[in-house]
Structure 1
């Protein structure tokens, strides 16, 4: 609104500068008859002719008298015209000034509204990232990764990074192929197999196929505590009509899960839906299933020591030891992870972040 007031004031000032001189009496008087000056010049010329001797004094006086009479008549006519025309003309000019002052800004605003961009003032100065722009950025990034993988098809980590992005974009079939490439190049891994199986489930609209079930079962063999794989295996039993098996699988998963695990609430909902007894939240103590937890942690540690693994798996091992109260083993796992991931800067950041979270003494080293 302020910008329109400023523009209106500027327009009014410009109009007044142009029209103000025309609104005064002097403007009317300034429009005198040019014959007045002509007669005055004629009298002066007669006087010069008399001085040069071109005219006799009597002739000069007679000529000056005639020119003087004409000058008086011209002057009289001018005064009469000023008296008769000045005030009406002044009023007309003031009316024109008022009309111009009102109409010109209104006309300018109307034309600007029709052909200009008045809406531009309603736009924010700095637009927040729009969903379309974000989609374009994501598509550009994916295109760059795809170009890289076309030139380096054996980059297993690249396929593994690209797969969840495909899922986010709704390209589930491409995600399945990406996970297949990652498994072929990088080998079997509990998390990798779980993610691959989940992509197969999404590709079948929630149906757990035999291929997906095989991937989940292999993941559990590699890591008995793999929560995603165990959850989908419970769902697979439910889909096959094995309700009691599904209840047992959900209950077993709930018993070995930390109380604050993000999947706990979902597992409890599934048990409630199936009519199975749900242990109270307070029952989710570390001592429940301690032997199973210790076995799973030991299996994970052995596999990481012999085959290596992802930064997330090393971080999970560190957390598991910390939850069990075995901080010395957690610190040793952190040190072993740093050695195994020495060439992986991003992986080292993951390990250091976990070490800081667990407040391990080796975190500062």
Structure 2
């Protein structure tokens, strides 16, 4: 009985770990209004790191210039998005455009129902398979008994081999 309680507890813990994100989704960590400012700060930091790498001689002057142009282009794009957002009050970031371009999900209910169904079906299916093909009524067999039975089988195999050898040496017996 204790084993079944342990199995039920482990199943409950596993189901809770799987269902937790669906039942309690995380909130967005950063509001969309701060995304442009955050992007600009990241690009400025990248420019500083690039200058430090170029000063230490880790990258060549041509590579530094190419990277500087690329980071500056991204920084200008982020600044343009911030200006456009402040003028119009609308979100124009690439993430927002991607969200608008992708079809809206039909709701959180469908994935949650699928996960909940799988979370209920899998344990019930495994329990029914065990009850059908397993041996739940079989009493426990302690390790000492299993080891003794294995040793007894080995003794019988040795005795049979000895008798066969004796018969080969003395076929008239």
Structure having greater relative contact order (Cα 8 Å, sep ≥ 6): 2
Tell me, yes or no, whether TM beats 0.5.
no
Work out which of the two has the higher radius of gyration on C-alpha atoms and give 1 or 2.
Answer: 1
Q: How high is the TM-score relative to the length of structure 1? A: 0.22
Q: TM-score, normalised by structure 2?
A: 0.39
